[in-house]
Structure 1
Amino acid sequence: MDTDSRPKCFRNLPHEFTCVLTISCAQLLTQASIGNVLAPLHIIGPAIGINDRNRLPWTCAAYSLTVGIFILITGRLGDIFGHKLLFILGFIWYGIFSLLTGMAAYIRNDIYFDIIRAFQGIGPATVLPNGIALLARAYPAGRRKSLVFAFFGATAPVGWSMGAVFASIFAQFVWWAWSQWVLAGACIILAILAYFIIPTELSPAVQPMGKIDIPGAVTGITGLVLIVYACNQGPVSGWDKLYVHLPLALGFIILGLFILIEIKTDEPIMPPSLWTAPGFPGVIVCVGLGWSSFGIWNYYFVQFVEVVRQKTPLLLCAMFSPTVPAGFVATILVSQLYHRVAGHYLLMISMVAFCTGNALIATAPVDQTYWLQTFVATLITPFGMDISFPAASLIVSNSMPIHQQGVAASMINTVINLSVSLGLGIAGTVESQINKNGDNVLKGYRGALYAGICLSGVGIIVALLFCRVPKPAVSMEKSIADEEQQVGQVNGPGTEGEGLEGELSK
Structure 2
Amino acid sequence: MTTSDTSADIPHGNLTTVEPGVSRHLKSKIFGWKLWNKHNTQAVGTKVQTPKPPAAVESNVGMPIPDGQHQPAQAELLSERDIERLGRERPAVFKNAWTEIAFVFSISMSQVLAEYFISGFNVVLPSLVKELNITESSAVWPASAFSLVVAATLLIFGRIADMIGGYPVYVFGMAWLFAWSVVAGFSKNRLMLIFCRTLQGIGPAAYLPSSMMLLAKVYRPGPRKNMVFSIYGTCAVVGFFIGIFCSGVSAQFLSWGWYFWIGAILAAITAVSSFLTIPSDTAEARKQGIKMDYMGAALIVPGLTLTVFALTDSAHAPDGWRTPYVYVCFIIGSILLGLAVYVEGWVAKSPLLPFDIFDAPYMKPLVVSLLFFYGCLGVYLLYGTLYMVNIMGASPMQVVAWCVPMVVGGFIFPILCALFLHIISGTVLLIISGIGWVGTGVLFAVMPEGASYWAFAFPSMIGATLGIDITFNITNIFITTSQPAKRQGLAGAVINSVLHLSIAFLLGLADIAQVHTAHRGKLESYRVVFWFQVGCAVASLLIMVFFVRVNAAKSEMTADERQQLMQVEQSDSQGSSVNQEK
Q: Which TM-score tier does this pair reach, normalised by the shorter chain?
A: 0.7 to 0.9
| 1:251 equivalent in structure 2 | 333
Cα distance in structure 2, aligned partners of 1:337 and 1:144: 12
Tell me how far 1:393 sits from its aligned partner.
5.3
Deviations 1:29-72 (A, max 9, x none): 111112321223322332333332x5444443322222233232
Cα distance in structure 1, aligned partners of 2:479 and 2:229: 19
2:434–2:537 Cα contact (<8 Å) kept: yes
| 1:501 equivalent in structure 2 | none
| 1:356 equivalent in structure 2 | 439
Cα distance in structure 2, aligned partners of 1:283 and 1:341: 18
Which of the numbers 349, 368, 377 marks the counterpart of 1:294?
Answer: 377
Matched, 1:84 2:84: no
Cα distance in structure 2, aligned partners of 1:131 and 1:394: 13
1:77–1:86 Cα contact (<8 Å) kept: yes
SS of 1:69 mapped into structure 2: helix
Matched, 1:459 2:537: no
| 2:499 equivalent in structure 1 | 416
Q: CA RMSD in A?
A: 3.0
Cα distance in structure 2, aligned partners of 1:121 and 1:372: 37
CA pair 363-118 structure 1, distance change in 2 beyond 3 A: farther
Which of the numbers 431, 453, 458 marks the counterpart of 1:375?
Answer: 458
Tell me how far 1:312 sits from its aligned partner.
1.1
Greater helix share, 1 or 2?
Answer: 1
| 1:19 equivalent in structure 2 | 103
Q: Number of residue pairs matched?
A: 475
Which of the numbers 30, 38, 50 marks the counterpart of 2:122?
Answer: 38
1:345–1:463 Cα contact (<8 Å) kept: no
Matched, 1:479 2:545: no
SS of 1:269 mapped into structure 2: coil
Which of the numbers 159, 162, 166 marks the counterpart of 2:242?
Answer: 162
What is the percentage of aligned positions where both structures have the same residue? 28
CA pair 430-142 structure 1, distance change in 2 beyond 3 A: closer
SS of 1:236 mapped into structure 2: coil
Which of the numbers 168, 177, 195 marks the counterpart of 1:94?
Answer: 177
Deviations 1:8-42 (A, max 9, x none): 54454434333332222112111111232122332
Deviates more, 1:439-448 or 1:170-179: 439-448
| 2:322 equivalent in structure 1 | 240
Deviations 1:351-402 (A, max 9, x none): 322221111112212311211100010011112112223454577589x775
2:483–2:491 Cα contact (<8 Å) kept: no
Which of the numbers 118, 138, 157 marks the counterpart of 1:74?
Answer: 157
Tell me how far 1:410 sits from its aligned partner.
3.8
Cα distance in structure 2, aligned partners of 1:116 and 1:485: 44
Superposed counterparts of 1:58-457, under 5 Å: 58-104=141-187, 106-107=188-189, 109=190, 111-141=191-221, 143-199=223-279, 201-208=280-287, 209-237=289-317, 238-263=320-345, 264-275=347-358, 279-335=362-418, 338=421, 343-392=426-475, 406=488, 407=490, 410-436=493-519, 440-457=521-538
Amino acid of the structure 2 residue aligned with 1:450: W
Amino acid of the structure 2 residue aligned with 1:479: M
Cα distance in structure 2, aligned partners of 1:334 and 1:196: 30
Deviations 1:100-123 (A, max 9, x none): 32233x22x1x4433432321221
Cα distance in structure 1, aligned partners of 2:359 and 2:563: 28
SS of 1:204 mapped into structure 2: helix
> Gaps (5+ residues) in structure 2?
1-51, 53-84, 565-582
TM-score between both structures, scaled by the size of structure 1: 0.85
TM-score between both structures, scaled by the size of structure 2: 0.74
